[in-house]
């Protein structure tokens, strides 16, 4: 052999299909929402529906926010947390949609979020 590179073997494509169960997609959506909105996944409720052949995701979730005493001491804490409740919910839609589509390979037509409450994030206490 004269040092010539061997051609790379093309990946083999197998016939068939892959499907995610409703439970797997629901768990994925809960995890994505929990990460983006900083809440426990068990607090997130998920509903899927057909939207002209694509998946539409509806979420009911609390929103993690810094405590009011933190915001009063330093108003920039709210901006660092992502802004107002409205701003965070609007921004979260795109982030959650992108993450679910990336991980599942499914196409989502939309993500609807209903904020059910606020969970106060407590800063770590200094001892």
pLDDT digits (tens, 9 = 90+) for 70-114: 777 877 766 666 777 888 899 999 999 999 999 998 899 999 999
pTM, rounded to two decimals: 0.73
Q: Which CATH number does 22-119 carry?
A: 3.30.70
8 sits in which H/E element: none
Neighbours of 63 (CB within 10 A): 21
- Taking a C-beta distance cutoff of 8 angstroms, is the pair 34, 121 a contact? no
pLDDT over 60 (residue 127): no
- Taking a C-beta distance cutoff of 8 angstroms, is the pair 10, 32 a contact? no
Predicted local distance difference test score (pLDDT) of residue 80: 67
- Distance in angstroms between the alpha carbons of the first and the last residue of the chain: 68
């Amino acid at each position: 052999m004269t040092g010539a590179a061997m051609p790379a073997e093309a990946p083999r494509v197998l016939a068939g299909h892959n499907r995610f169960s409703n439970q797997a997609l629901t768990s994925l959506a809960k995890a994505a929402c929990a990460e983006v909105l900083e809440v426990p996944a068990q607090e997130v409720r998920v509903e899927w529906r057909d939207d002209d052949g694509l998946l539409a995701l509806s979420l009911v979730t609390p929103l993690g926010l810094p405590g009011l005493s933190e915001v009063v001491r330093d108003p920039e804490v709210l901006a660092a947390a992502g802004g107002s409740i409205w701003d965070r919910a609007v921004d979260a839609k795109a982030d959650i949609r992108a993450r679910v589509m990336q991980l599942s390979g499914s196409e989502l037509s939309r993500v609807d979020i209903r904020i059910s409450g606020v969970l106060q994030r407590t800063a770590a206490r200094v001892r």
